[in-house]
Amino acid sequence: MADRLELYHAEPLSNSLKVLAAIHEKGVPFVSHPINLRRFEQHEPHFLAINPAGQVPVLVHGECTIVESTVINEYLDESFDGPPLRPGTPYGRAQMRVWTKFVDESFRPALSFLAWARQMPTLVGALPEGEFERRLARIPLREKRDKWAMAARGGFTPREIEGWRQNLIEATGRIEQALAAGDWLVKDGFSLADIAVFSIANSLSSGYAEIMNEEIAPRTMAWLARMRTRPGVAAALAVPTPPSPVEKPPATPSDVSG
Ligand SMILES: N[C@@H](CCC(=O)N[C@@H](CS)C(=O)NCC(=O)O)C(=O)O
């Protein structure tokens, strides 16, 4: 009997969207375990027993637990039948990994930091007095604890915020330029590069339309539309968002999760 495949994930944004899109594109049956980040479920003992870092996504395959969205996606592609999500040549795979590395090291952090700066004070304001501090104390990763505390008190500097905005502007230019050569980011065809970049660009185009729009990035907008109509990506995007403790959700997509 095949090993059971389970995915712990949040709503279809950022790293969770990245893995949900890949698993649906592969067409692999899996057991879904939604984790409600808006209620800080990722820091509760039942989830810390699965990932002591207190982060989603996490893939559990039989006896193996795999973390890190980019690693999970390669693992899924390597382990299961279904349409290949990695290019067939070493050069193609190298190009794909340049994109996934760029997403993990620059594109996603820039959007996450901006989203925290924008949304965290509202989220904290909606919690009962002292609750945020109690929840903060339970975050296992020191670096994340410090960044969230900084965001909650509006502590990021204008220079930092402008730097992240510039990263997003540069990312948009980079994607737009790559798409001049074809329909997908790597010439060989649709791959994990498209999935990784989409997991962030999808939120960027809706939450920061002044940075990514039809006028500035027409090829990117057409590629986003192509991505959204892929059955696997569409299935990932249809995963429901759990309820938030914030009475009136922010107008922009909640990428506070990152
Ligand atoms: N490098 C990790 C980052 C995982 C990560 O930051 N996950 C976010 C959701 S996108 C999370 O769990 N945030 C909640 C928290 O850190 O408390 C990956 O790519 O999987």
Burial code of 209-226, b = ≥16 C-beta within 10 A, e = fewer? eebbeeeebebbbebbeb
Region of 13 please: left (phi>0), alpha (psi -120 to 50) or beta: beta
Confidence of residue 157 (pLDDT cuts 50, 70, 90): very high
Cα–Cα distances in angstroms (integers) from residue 143 to residues 29, 94, 136, 149, in the given order: 35, 30, 12, 10
Residues 6+ apart with CB under 8 A from 213: 205, 221
Sign of CA dihedral 171, 177, 178, 183: positive
Q: Is the CB of 16 under 6 A from ligand 1?
A: yes
Tens digit of each residue's pLDDT (9 = 90 or more) over 172-219: 999 999 999 999 999 989 999 999 999 999 999 999 999 999 999 999
> Is the per-residue pLDDT at 18 higher than 50?
yes
For residue 13, which atom of ligand 1 is closest to its CA?
10
- Residue type at position 176: E
Tens digit of each residue's pLDDT (9 = 90 or more) over 218-238: 999 999 999 999 999 999 999
Mean pLDDT calculated for residue range 15-37: 97
Q: Is the CB of 203 under 6 A from ligand 1?
A: no
How confident is the model at residue 127, as a pLDDT? 86
**CA–CA gap between residue 113 and residue 126 (Å, rounded):** 20
Residues 6+ apart with CB under 8 A from 138: 40, 43, 54
User: Of 95, 63, 59, which Cα lies nearest the Cα of 78?
Assistant: 59
Assign 240 to helix, strand or coil. coil
Tens digit of each residue's pLDDT (9 = 90 or more) over 45-73: 999 999 999 999 999 999 999 999 999 99
Please tell me the pTM assigned to this model.
0.94
Q: Is the CB of 14 under 6 A from ligand 1?
A: yes
Q: How far is the CA of 196 from the centre of ligand 1 (A)?
A: 14
Who wins on pLDDT, 41 or 39?
A: 41
> Is the per-residue pLDDT at 248 higher than 70?
no
Q: Please identify, in words, the CATH class of the domain defined by 90-230.
A: mainly alpha
